[in-house]
Amino acid sequence: MTISSTLLVDTKVNVLVKGTGVGNESEQILINASTLNEATNESILSISSLHYDIKGTGKVKILFQGDTNIEVIELTGRGQYGKRLNEPELLNEAVNTNGNILVTTDNNVTSYVILLEANKKDGFING
């Protein structure tokens, strides 16, 4: 099954997206950087915070897309990441990135909901 991604906020500096899905998804697009307001073909995002609820015993992985996709965080259970001490912004270090943020789930995930806040770091007009 394909992820369902809903863009909730898209300002000059950040983006808030809600993603829902099930297990056994491979590198599905959570945020397509090229569709964001004032995006260019060189748009770069970072992840500032995540709130998530993962049902089942599986894992959800968040990746930055590039020549080789880079896994930035693995999520299980229910929780949050970011905007707290010792939880730095997750920077996109993928080579030749298109700015997209991806989700991969294993087959032990029953369902999930993710709220992801991303910062517009580079490659946005007037950003």
Taking the alpha carbons of 19, 92, 90, 70 in that order, is the dihedral positive or negative? positive
CA–CA dist 88, 72 (Å, integer): 12
Supply the CATH classification number for the domain 4-124.
2.60.120.1330
Taking the alpha carbons of 27, 3, 8, 50 in that order, is the dihedral positive or negative? negative
pLDDT of residue 56: 97
Angular region, 83: left φ>0, alpha ψ -120 to 50, beta rest: left
- Give the chain's residues under pLDDT 50: none
pLDDT of residue 1: 63
pLDDT of residue 35: 96
pLDDT of residue 2: 80
Give this prediction's pTM: 0.95
